[in-house]
Amino acid sequence: MTKIRQLTISVGDLWRSSALIQGIMALTGFFTICYLQIVGRPIGEILGTLVGAIVGYYFGTKTTHKE
């Protein structure tokens, strides 16, 4: 019972910090653009801009500044 409680606490912490959501959104957008490119369909300007912003924000928040 305690292992299940620890697991839900750790998943809950990820959910609250939105790291899980950010990662899923970044990967989904990236793979969507890759799929569209592979099958030869055009990538809309809005989709490209949106995914670029999401991926940029995701990796931008992962940097650490040492001062």
Say if residue 63 is exposed, middle or buried (CB neighbours under 10 Å; 0-12, 13-18, 19+): exposed
Residue 4: pLDDT over 80: no
One-letter amino acid at 56 equals G
Tell me if the pTM is above 0.85: no
Average predicted confidence (pLDDT) for the chain:
78
Lowest mean pLDDT among 17-21, 22-26, 63-67: 63-67
| Buried/exposed 20-59: b ≥16 CB within 10 Å, e otherwise | eebeebbeebeeebeeeeeeeeeeeeeeeeebeebbeebe
